[in-house]
Each structure stands twice: as structure tokens, then as C-alpha cells.
Amino acid sequence: MPEISNTLVEKAISVGPLGDEREIATITRPATSADERAALVWLGGYRSDMSGTKAVEMDLLAAEHGLQAIRFDYSGHGVSGGEFRLGTISRWTEEALAVISASDARRVILVGSSMGGWIALRVIQEARRLGLAFDICGLVLIAPAPDFTVELIEPHLSEAEKQSLAERGYFEEPSEYSPEPNIFTRALIEDGRQNRVLTGMIQTGCPVHILQGMKDPDVPYKHALKLMEFLPADDVVLTLVRDGDHRLSRPEDISRMKVAIAAMI
């Protein structure tokens, strides 16, 4: 068993061009193993942060295996700078790419939760397009929500919500996970159309494990089945949790996540 280190390195990196910089908070656990196994990178969901249960448990798993672990908050989330209402899939993908590139990791396993699953797929596409100097060798997607603005929000907008988007630039809805309402902006929805991934074959070039609750009220399990249709060239495992919700944060769910990650280490 590799030595377990309690050392965590906290720092902020500046992302974005002049006039649109965001200070992105990161927490990195340095590797203690001498081999060159992949680092674990956490990609959180909409309005979640790097101190959540699953993110912390991923970090602890990395410690057990002597691996590097990278966590961060998107702009407007957690302790990062920037305004939440300016956030889009493009901006958050740019931040994820910048965080990984700023690390010394050359091989990474992406662990994406909910919206983080969409970000993970866009990171793969953009890293390949830009020729970035790291390889993605595994994906663990938890209740992944690729294209959620197009697939899960836009078709169900009420007339009042459409009017609010047109007049105010955003609409609100109650959140089951916070006393503060969820805010969805016109910029997020319009940008989402430009970042769709469920439009043709997705080639990740790595094994993929999807964990999906069948009682998820936010991302129906059929959305995970649809995602699988766009991954015909990959080694994909789908675990459906019959009584699982969207968070998948119960002890038994965490165990499933850790097993899925460990299989890719």
C-alpha cells in the first residue's frame, strides 16, 4: 500500500483573457507513488463544489492509491471568483482545461458528476482539438447530464419561464438541494446549443463507466441510455442503481463510485 499523505496544496489560477479573468480555486493532492499512473480529476455538477461528499471521497481514494488528485470550483461556484450568472458550458470547460493543463499531470481519469459529465466530454473534445499535453485514459460519469440545457430544460420551459428569459435574461426554479433557487440564464441555454455532444458518435478513446440512479428526478436514467448510443466505439459499462437518486451519495453509492474509479487506475 502506498504511503498516504495528508498534504493538500491549495492555490488559485487565473483563467480567461484580459477583462474576463476568473480566479479558479484548486486543491491538489500530490502523488506519493513513484509510478506514472493517472491523476484523478473531479468535475462537479451545476452549483456544486469541490467540498462535496463524492469529490472528497474521490480524493481519499487517490490518497489510498498514492495518486495525484485534482479538485476545483468552476467560476461562480464554491470559493472560486467570477459571477455565477456569467457561467456557461464554454467558460466552465475552459476552466477545466486550464486547471488540468496547469498541473503536472500527463495522464488523467476524469470523474464527472451530473453537469460534470457534460464538461468531461467537452474536455476530451477540446483537448484533442487544441493538442493539449495530457491524455485522458478513463471516464467515470455519475448521473451524467450532457446537453441538459437542450435536452432536459428547453423542451419543458413554461410560458412564464420563456418570458422571464426574454425579459430578464434568466429564470429561477426551486432547488431540492439548496434554500437558494436554481438560476438558468439565457447565456447558459444559448451556449449549451453550441456545446452539444449528443449529435453524432463521441470518441473518447478510453473506457467509460456510467453510474445512474433509476429514481433520479433531475436526469432520467433514459438519458444515460441515450448517451450510450453515442459511444459505440468505447468500452462502456453502465451501472443502473434501482433505488438511486440524482446525488448517488449514500455509502453504497460511494462504494460503487470507488470501485468504478479503482478499475481504471
Q: 42-61, pLDDT tens digit by residue?
A: 999 999 999 999 999 999 99
Nearest Cα to Cα of residue 63 among 93, 89, 105, 32? 32
Rounded to two decimals, the pTM is: 0.95
CA–CA dist 85, 39 (Å, integer): 31
CA–CA dist 224, 77 (Å, integer): 25
Band (pLDDT 50/70/90 cuts) for residue 5 is: low
For position 104, what pLDDT does the model report? 87
DSSP-assigned beta bridge partners for residue 183 = 172
For position 113, what pLDDT does the model report? 98
For position 2, what pLDDT does the model report? 54
For position 83, what pLDDT does the model report? 94
Q: Which long-range contacts (CB under 8 A, 24 or more apart) does 231-235 make?
A: 231/201, 231/202, 231/204, 232/201, 233/201, 233/203, 234/202, 234/203, 234/204, 234/205, 234/206, 234/207, 234/208, 235/207, 235/208
Residue 32 pLDDT > 90: yes
Phi, psi at 261, each rounded to 5°:
-70, -45
| Percent share of the chain, pLDDT over 70 | 98
Band (pLDDT 50/70/90 cuts) for residue 264 is: very high
All structural domains of the chain, each given as residue ranges with its CATH number in brackets, are 9-148+196-262 (3.40.50.1820)
Max Cα distance, the chain (Å) = 58
Band (pLDDT 50/70/90 cuts) for residue 34 is: confident
- Residue reference for cell 509510478: 35
